Structure 1
């Protein structure tokens, strides 16, 4: 497969997708040579899927009806909803879903007021640069916003992973922020004090965020994240973009100015100033939340409906 052109353009001929810009296409399609392993693995997976009797998808009918309808022209696809968590968390069962040690954030969260905490996590395998980590750190500090920031081990794509944060920053954010290597994301998102999630837009996190009704600040990097950002911001309108602003001010001349810009973006986004008073987003999130819950309990899928329509005809 050849590399897609650097010039952005709208693609409107993909079945089930009204329109998508090439900048939002999954990264391994745009430049397969730089991601050979991922591209080959997924190409093999796509070939094997064609031989399956049916496909189970961790999405819901309400979110992607056109895509599901298009896929079902070729083989049965069932939208089974999120399966990696339960909305009603049991209190008497202790079970870790992670390979990493999980910090208990419960007592810290309980000390904060509703909607005042920004949750920051760049997923379980995406790498970052030390420069970005430092500027995020100072941006959060200057914003004054309460935050939980997950910085997993070996998050840097190069360099010294033992000294990721700027010297002394953890002492400076005491009381305002909690920095952990890993935590139970479901428990954090289900807390009423969490008012926003700065995310790379991995699919699992996206579904979890919708389930718990937390507005998203999107900072996609690669893989399917740009495509998920398009869905969240442009199609479903339940989040806003941070990524383009981050890129712009990361390329500025003065680190302090960039951090201050970060700070204004974070503070403004948590206040939902770019989304009105937040009521529209809350309403959409609530509607999505209810629909996901209904559909994951066994509501008919597009495939079932189309199958019934064809049999009746």
Structure 2
């Protein structure tokens, strides 16, 4: 399997072909050793990316947590496996383990797998449905506001069932609308007398939340322009499924051997501030308090 085929299966792009063998060699690199990850990429060869109906089997060694993988050593007699990251050899193997019935994680061709996690006992009903909050400037010109309301109504009619929707409008005051109350229009009005300095509610101030959430900013002179309408509809597309083409509350965790340290992450993510010893002293991008979890 060549690099392009491997990338299509795993959603990973490696801008290097060999690992630096020494610390000086690593320090001399012009471009840091990195991995470009596309976790939502649809694999072109689904049979090479199995979906396993159970939780990953993880190393029980404190501070490790690496999952069973093709580089793990399996001891069939004692039904245990050795972690390729920390070297711990006392990890029990709870499932059937036989040389002719190996789990998919140990196949050499399955360097990447996906897991269909069982329900979390802490959340009997599973994770809650997505929530969308529409925040609208009610001081917008009447004709512009009419176009925007039509687009929002059109969008809400096409949303999958179960999605929670909130509406907040603001002008001289802030109005939080109770959309679930059917008897009459009911809102909570918040005092709008607080003054903000100029240059603090513009596009530049919104850059950080947009970047860390993978959001979008569309610049257009009117809501009537096709540029706004097409982008707005594209964000909430479904493509024949009962789910939006969005993903919520994802967590990315990097597990390394003791010889490898993480400098940081670039992209739409924010640190979860979980401390361990896998972070480099050299920080790049989103690290915050020595945490390789986003």
Does TM, normalized by the shorter one, top 0.5?
Answer: no
Q: TM-score normalized by structure 2?
A: 0.27
Structure with the bigger RCO (C-alpha within 8 Å, sep 6+) is 1
Q: TM-score normalized by structure 1?
A: 0.25
Choose between structure 1 and 2: higher helix proportion.
1
